[in-house]
Amino acid sequence: MWEARSASFWRAVFAEFFGTLFYVLFGLGASLRWVIGPINVLLVALAFGLVAATMVQSLGHVSGAHLNPAVTVAFLLGSQLSIFRAVFYVVAQVLGGVAGAAVLYGITPVALRGNLALNTMHPSLNVGQATVVEIFLTLQFVLCIFATYDERRNGYIRNMALAVGISLTLGHLFGIYYTGAGMNPARSFAPAIITRNFTNHWVYWVGPILGGVIGGCLYDFILLPRRRGVSERLSILKGEQQAELSAPPEPPEEPVELTTEAL
């Protein structure tokens, strides 16, 4: 495909790997319990929100800064990127998350390494309830991303990082006590494979991906539909053409009045 021959494509794939590495490293690092006592929910929520906002600001113009398989799948179903790009993005995100968790595991004292598995369901929750929580957490997050990234909105670039960071912080403030607020399969898979703890791990794939799909479809097909035909959507998915970004309309210019000075 033409994407594989493009240097910008491979830069975007590396950006997804690099960004997810930092997202997991800083987010999970701030979640470690260095002292005995309850987890500081505000600290964890702000850490994940701030690192997401930082990566969006740093890498958004390179890859879109998805950093999350649920986000990539949602964009794929909205025909906003090709299947080829989506597959490489998801692989890069998963590998980046594992790399970030591995770095954190290596620099963390042995006594604290067991705290890396932040995604833990509350004992009183069943898997059905946990899945629903993950669906709603990711739904609001992906809905925010679709609305913020929408090139049809005036001034959408200026508040992108802030909006994404706030949405992610909100999700963690609500969801940490329920499920640990996964909201990202790559972020959940990374500590699971490092600590070899896959208890109810499917919840952190099914919930976020379903939530992302619902959020993306809700925005792209109901709230603000994209006028694309079936053939155009298939062409984008197959990588035969790139999704076109329409520039925001510019305000009309005031007529210029030409004057001459009297001699």
Which domains are present in the chain? Answer: 3-237 (1.20.1080.10)
pLDDT reported for residue 136? 98
Q: Tell me how far CA of residue 87 lies from CA of 58, 74, 237, in angstroms.
A: 22, 13, 11
Q: Could you tell me where the DSSP H helices lie in 150-256?
A: 160-179, 185-195, 203-217, 230-237
DSSP class of residue 223 equals I
**Rg (alpha carbons) of the chain, rounded to whole number:** 21
> How do residues 130-148 score in pLDDT, each as one tens digit?
999 999 999 999 999 999 9
Measured distance CA(72)–CA(81) in Å, rounded: 9
What pLDDT was estimated at residue 154?
A: 67
What gap in Å lies between CA 189 and CA 95, rounded to an integer? 10
Residue 46 tokens, joined: 């702000």
Q: What is the pLDDT of residues 36-95, one digit of tens each?
A: 777 889 999 999 999 999 999 999 999 999 999 999 999 999 989 999 999 999 999 999
Sequence letter at residue 12: A
Q: List C-alpha distances in Å: 1 to 7, 118, 244.
A: 13, 39, 18
Residue 175 corresponds to which amino acid? G
Q: What is the pTM of this model?
A: 0.88
